[in-house]
Amino acid sequence: MKLNHLNGGQQLAVKYYTVAIILFVAQIIFGLLSGMQYLVPDLLLGVLDFNVTRTIHINAMIVWMLYGFMGSVYWLLEEESKTEIVGLKLGNIGFWLLTTAVTIVVLVFLLIQSGPGDDFTRWFINEGREYIEAPRWADIGIVICMLIFFYNAAATFMKGTWSGISGVLVLDLVALAGIYIAGMFYTPNISIDQYWWWWVIHLWVEATWEVLVGCLMAWGLMKTLKVDRKIVTTWLYIEVALMFGSGILGLGHHYFWIGTPEYWLTIGGFFSALEPIPLVAMVVHAVYDAGARQMKGNNNPALAWLIAHAFGNFFGAGVWGFMHTLPQINLYTHGTQWSASHGHLAFFGAYATIIIAMIYIAVPYIRGQEGIGSNLPDGGWKWKWSLGLLNLGVVGMTIALLISGYEQSFIERAVGGSTWYGYFAAQIHPWFVQGMEWRMIFGLVTAVGLVLLIWDLLTIGKQKQA
Ligand code: HEM
Ligand code: HEM
Ligand SMILES: [Fe+2]
């Protein structure tokens, strides 16, 4: 593909987006496999066990989203800073370094899978921290690539001009990269280990990633709807203040039962209950802007996915998170499919959606056009159906998992008193099993939506518009 008409940052972005989509596909394939293993427990037993398929499913997700974020920042970098990217070569080296590391890690996960509980395993096979299982050598590689990325963003803005959006963005990237290091701290004490590990996981998704997508949303609304910069920047400051104000101590909702002092019950319950507020602000902001512009933009698929993001973030993180965040409730729901229900809707609703929107913003420029008109030759059925099927699929899975989660909370926890007997009674109950079946059905719907999405991204705007 010839990309000479794009600026340097945008050329880098196309590479990041490409790997992001490939890893998204991997995520879905391994998600389908792990879902099937709930129904057919000896599927691939001894070849690709549940712990392996699940690890690849969720690590591929984290990594494709990081690729998507880096791609998005590189995409807007030169336009927003009004100057050329300072380290294009370095950026390319970082891209290949990261991609090589990710490939090796995936191959090791697939072929070697696990090792004895010693330092060698931790350094070269699997670190054992859910979501960030990459072994230590790869952690160091990832940190180097993040530093290159951070340097490129910060130094380019430094050379060009700063804006409200870029200021928030660069400060946020410091926090995002810095927090990753907390997940590399090693201790044999499982409580202390979990304590630091949540710094990465919670403070990423409920603080730094949220702020990052706030910046992308602000930029995306200017781009697709021509919303005034002053308006989006003001909203951004308000959202960021609320997000950090509630999300940082909201961390406590993961400290209820891991052996930390009891005051976390109060702190975590209180602050995490406030976390939905900035998410409401984000919905109001997006819907208000879209209404004020009468939904008239130059890129309908991107705009639709931005709106999907605003609602997905609010429901997945805000509503589904709030449902189980008070310790009195979490006592019963902790670690059940209820958490998986929230995890799926939140990650998809808050992050997959906005990355897809950013890719749609890029696509017409890649094809040498200014936008995606509403008069597409095929009526735009592909983007509309993929939007519909992906969202229907994930919402369907979310509801199915929620029903299984309710059943677990009642039968295993409330009635069974959290005993082994209660656990197994819950696992074989028809409501649980049916939830797992419906999750597979909607998982397939999601997969079809993804195939259509890729087909659309590869073809939209290629024919002359009618
Ligand atoms: C986009 C933002 C968010 C994402 C991506 C997200 C994702 C997740 C995921 C994947 C888990 C499961 C973690 C595990 O494996 O144990 C989780 C747990 C949890 N989340 Fe969120 N979340 C978000 C926002 C929120 C918000 C805003 C709240 C509260 C209002 C919340 C409340 C919780 C709680 C209480 C748990 C613990 C569940 C348990 O005890 O098993 N989350 N979240
Ligand atoms: C084809 C569709 C999918 C299927 C069949 C599927 C299936 C699964 C399964 C079986 C697990 C393990 C749950 C467990 O440990 O009990 C899982 C975990 C997870 N999946 Fe998916 N998944 C799919 C798509 C997605 C998508 C689109 C996302 C988000 C963008 C996602 C995010 C997650 C997360 C965050 C977890 C960890 C949840 C937790 O620890 O509570 N999955 N998925
Ligand atoms: Fe959290």
Q: What is the pLDDT of residue 187?
A: 86
Model confidence pLDDT, tens digit, residues 292-307 = 887 788 899 999 999 9
Buried b (16+ CB within 10 A) or exposed e, 59-92: bbbbbbbbbbbbbbbbbbbbebbeeebbbbeebe
Q: What is the number of other CB atoms lying within 10 angstroms of the CB of residue 443?
A: 21
Cβ 344 under 6 angstroms from ligand 2: yes
DSSP string for 207-263: IIHHHHHHHHHHHHHHHHH---HHHHHHHHHHHHHHHHHHHHHHGGGGSTTTT--TH
Cβ 339 under 6 angstroms from ligand 1: yes
Q: Which residues surround ligand 3, an ion (CB under 5 A)?
A: 202, 206
Tell me the mean pLDDT in the region 397-402: 98
User: Taking 90 as the threshold, does the pLDDT of residue 32 lie above it?
Assistant: yes
| Rounded distance between C-alpha atoms, residue 20 and residue 297, angstroms | 26
pTM of the predicted model, to two decimals? 0.97
Ligand nearest to the CA of 56: 2
Residue 395: pLDDT band with limits 50, 70, 90: very high
Q: What is the pLDDT of residue 465?
A: 47
Model confidence pLDDT, tens digit, residues 231-268 = 999 999 999 999 999 999 999 999 999 999 999 999 99
Cβ 285 under 6 angstroms from ligand 1: no
| Rounded distance between C-alpha atoms, residue 313 and residue 145, angstroms | 28
**Alpha-carbon distances, residue 448 vs 82, 162, 203, 318 (angstroms):** 40, 42, 32, 27
Model confidence pLDDT, tens digit, residues 408-457 = 999 999 999 999 999 999 999 999 999 999 999 999 999 999 999 999 99
Q: What is the number of other CB atoms lying within 10 angstroms of the CB of residue 419?
A: 11
- Give the atom of ligand 1 at the shortest distance from the alpha carbon of 340: 12
Cβ 389 under 6 angstroms from ligand 1: no
342 Cα–ligand 2 center, Å: 10
Q: What is the pLDDT of residue 346?
A: 98
| Rounded distance between C-alpha atoms, residue 109 and residue 103, angstroms | 10
Tell me the mean pLDDT in the region 108-135: 94
Cβ 343 under 6 angstroms from ligand 2: yes
230 Cα–ligand 3 center, Å: 31
Model confidence pLDDT, tens digit, residues 278-332 = 999 989 988 888 888 877 888 999 999 999 999 999 999 999 999 999 999 999 9
How many degrees, rounded to 5, is the angle at CA 221 between CA 219 and CA 227? 105
Cβ 339 under 6 angstroms from ligand 2: yes
Query: Which residue type does 441 have?
Result: I
Helix (H), strand (E) at residue 134: none
Q: What is the pLDDT of residue 41?
A: 95
User: Which residue has tokens 């592909």?
Assistant: 382
Q: What is the number of other CB atoms lying within 10 angstroms of the CB of residue 240?
A: 19
Ligand nearest to the CA of 50: 2
Mutate to test the pocket of ligand 2, among 51, 67, 344 (most ligand atoms within 8 A of CB): 344
Cβ 340 under 6 angstroms from ligand 2: yes
Cβ 322 under 6 angstroms from ligand 1: yes
101 Cα–ligand 2 center, Å: 23
Residue 52: pLDDT band with limits 50, 70, 90: very high
Tell me the mean pLDDT in the region 3-20: 96
